[in-house]
Amino acid sequence: MFVYLANPYSGTGAKEHERYEQIVEVCATALKANCPIFSPINHWHPISRTYGVEGSFGMFRIQCEALLPHASCLVVITLPGWKHSVGVSHEWCMAEELSIPSFHVTLAEALSLSYWEKLRDRYSTELP
């Protein structure tokens, strides 16, 4: 199993890239803690930019709905705009419907190795 990472994304090209860079750092921190993680933004942002694929939630939605049901938990990074993000709202509601544990964390918390170690240990029976 794995942690599904959600965060707001849409905005100007520069804002989307800034959020992508922040989430890359979060994922690197989780990986250093040996915590399996999936971020749709990290996966799709480079593809969107390189191949001109639309980066809206409409494009991400099918990926979200295929992967989130298999996650051990959902972690939402509370970057500016997270409360109004269509994608984050959809992911949160979907996790609730599926009884997937969900957490809100600040960027500073998500950049802490100890946060991911605790999360990994909490779900260690489900994580490889």
| Domains of the chain by start residue, with CATH | 3-122 (3.40.50.10400)
* DSSP class per residue in the chain: --EEEE----SSHHHHHHHHHHHHHHHHHHHHTT--EE-HHHHHHHHHHHHT---SHHHHHHHHHHHGGG-SEEEEE--TTGGG-HHHHHHHHHHHHTT--EEEE-HHHHT-HHHHHHHHHHTTTT--
**Tens-digit pLDDT profile for the chain (128 aa)?**
799 999 988 777 788 889 999 999 999 999 999 999 999 888 876 777 778 776 667 777 888 899 999 999 999 999 999 999 999 999 999 999 999 999 999 999 999 999 999 999 988 765 44
